Chains A and B, each alone.
Chain A
Amino acid sequence: MEIRRGIPVSPGIVVRQAFVLDSEDYRIPRRFVADREIEGEIERFRQAVKAAEAELIGLKKEVLHKTGTEVVPIFEAHLRMLLDGHMHEEVTGQIRDNGFTAEFAVSRVFRKYSKSMKAVRDAFFSERVVDLFDIQKRLQRTLLGKQREDLSHLTEEVVLVAHNLTPSQMATLDRKKVLGIALDAGGRTSHTAIVARALGIPTVVGLETISIDVSGGQIVAIDGNRGIVVVEPDESALDGYRNAESKYRDFSRSLIKYRRLSAKTTDGVRIRLLANVEFPWEIKNAVENGASGIGLYRTEFLYAEDPRKLDEETHYETYKKALEAVAGEELVIRTMDIGADKLLGADSLDHVPESNPFLGCRSIRLCLEDPDMFKVQLRAILRASALGDNLRLMFPMISSLEELRQAKLVLADAREELDKKGIPYNRNLKVGVMIETPSAALIADLLAPEVDFFSIGTNDLIQYALAVDRGNERVASLYKATHPAVLRLINTVVRAGQKAGVDVAMCGEMSGDIAFTILLVGLGLKNLSTAPTAIPEIKQVIRSIDTKDAKRIARRAMKFQTSEEAAEYLMEKTRKILPEVF
């Protein structure tokens, strides 16, 4: 049994066998063979070594021919590793003694070697792990033959263990078969995390080496509430987790009853719970989970194809459909929020890579650089606004008053163009800004008179305030929502909004984490926009608290000197309300 701690990004508990995707995305389908098959299995391994040897010798000749003698020693070393008698003994021993399949035995033995190589401090030696993987791949390719399977053809329920998952892998995975996810990479706000929450799959990320340490077929428990992954749990732990899994399932089902109940505190203060969505199909899911509208509709997915071909009609049709789906509830559309690399395509001729893209020309800055492109989206949003006054528009990444004014100027231009053509739109369209830079938070009082609402985007706000790249696993642990600096920035925005009579919402990941619900209500936030699946839980917390208590707790939380103390304190207070989750 091995216990690993990572970052919990999507709640829930599950115990299943692991499906490990390695860097080449193959997996070991079967772990054991019958006794009578053992000799055949050993023979398969020998044949695989022979085939790999032939491949390597062929490669060596080819390389010698192409590049001269320089690279040959690498292949010499690979050959020695492949033909290592000691390794062969270990593999055949595992097959003979444990009845493992050749694939599984190879994977076990190579993991052992790669672990001890990785432990080495000398970079040259620890990088030899790459050679090991290379040899292992050669062997597995032969052993697995046509059996290599991918994510879309799972036959049994599994937890997925991988280094990282691409958005397209996330999009195609089978929700009925993938019941949990554990990843080496990532942080709370990585794309994978956001999608996992949207799909409601218990997920722990930032586990650094889990994809190397776990072999396919091993039993793995994932606790997406606490960020714990247990590899091969012992009997009592296994019982505990199976029990917790069914309890949590019951708990999730019990939350469904909260759908129709309102999100009111015990003293009758109504908090509006909205949903963050990326894809149009999520809106239905959000409404089913009891969202009273969409607090953040990300429009970036529209730009995933070729942005130059993205026309006003495509925008308009998408927004129109979204409006139909929310059925009269609020819908906040955020204008395009991507970096220059995504818009131009990284291999485009116009694309000059920025040395610091998060501080570069992204989001609203990119839009203001190309007002004609920006106006395509703005005209479409304006046109959609004629269909219902529940639609709102929001500018991301505003960092100064000038920028806000400039954005509003482009919007005024777009209105004028529609006026000229006599195309209708809602003249009272509410326009807000996302507060996601520390500068915007600190000048919220100056921005307030010129907007209808604020929405605090905590992901970027925390990243910029703490100078931490949330996607970088080496510093992800420094990303702390309860850092006193973050709490002060949030408090500043809420106070500025209250003073100016401007609605303040929060749409970052922080608003979807039940550990912060009491704090946020206590600070005076009345609109929380979260991942759809988080809504029932948040609602349950809200229905259990009194705003006077929440205020007291928030005041106390603001006084801690370190993020750990504040986090610990808030966790403690939440645990009292929702013991099932912690």
Chain B
Amino acid sequence: MEIVKQLKLENEEGLHARPAVKLVDTANRFECDVTIEADGREVNGKSMMSVLTLAAAKGTVLNFITRGADAREAMDAIEALIVSKFGEE
């Protein structure tokens, strides 16, 4: 199964260290592949180092692609995290 979803970062920090930790931790809870695409660049959503190289600030629109058996659950969890502004605000 493959799910694609466009999500906008609304939290103040964007994907700075703290939110990135939460995102990577969430992605790693699932078996499926998590890919994040921005500005034509794709990175592995389970890799902290790669996620940081996205340098995604507040307002950035990211394409999330989940692929695998639990792709649906993974996407729901990621969406909930981003919509809740990483539970910080």
Residues of A within 8 A of B (CB): 73-74, 76-77, 80-81, 83-87, 113, 116-117, 120-122, 124-126, 128, 132
Contacts and interface: CB of A to CB of B under 8 A. Distances in A.
B48 interface: yes
A117 B16 contact: no
Given A76-B18, A132-B49, 7 more contacts: A73-B17, A77-B17, A77-B18, A84-B50, A87-B49, A128-B17, A128-B52
Contacts of B18: 73, 76-77
B75 to A, nearest CB: 20
Contacts of A113: 49, 53
Nearest to A120: B55
Contacts of A128: 17, 52
Contact of A117 (B24, B25, B52): B52
A86 B44 contact: yes
B9 interface: no
Contact of B17 (A74, A86, A121, A126): A74
Contacts of A117: 52-53, 55
Interface string B9-46: 00000001110110011001000000000000000101
B57 interface: yes
Contacts of B20: 77, 80
Contacts of B63: none
Interface of B: 16-18, 20-21, 24-25, 28, 44, 46-50, 52-53, 55, 57
8 contacts: A76-B21, A80-B20, A81-B49, A85-B47, A86-B44, A121-B55, A128-B17, A132-B49
Q: Is the interface of A mostly helix, strand, loop or mixed?
A: helix
B53 A116 contact: yes
Q: Is the interface of B mostly helix, strand, loop or mixed?
A: helix
A372 to B, nearest CB: 56
A268 B34 CA distance: 79
A68 B86 CA distance: 22
A80 B48 contact: yes
A77 B49 contact: no
Contacts of A120: 53, 55
Contacts of B46: 85-86
B45 to A, nearest CB: 10
A86 B52 contact: no
A121 B24 CA distance: 23
B53 A84 contact: no
Nearest to B22: A76
Contacts of A86: 44, 46-47, 49-50
A80 B53 CA distance: 14
B48 A77 contact: yes
Given A120-B53, A125-B55, A81 B48 contact: yes
Nearest to B44: A86
Instruction: List 4 tightest A-B contacts by C-beta distance, closest first.
Output: A86-B47, A125-B55, A80-B48, A77-B17
A132 B53 CA distance: 11
A124 to B, nearest CB: 6
A116 B16 CA distance: 16
A85 B34 CA distance: 13
Contacts of A76: 17-18, 21
**Most chain A CB within a 10 A radius of its CB, from B20, B24, B28, B47:** B47
A540 B9 CA distance: 67
A74 B55 CA distance: 16
A84 B57 CA distance: 22
B21 to A, nearest CB: 5
Contacts of B24: 80
A77 B47 CA distance: 11
A124 B13 CA distance: 10
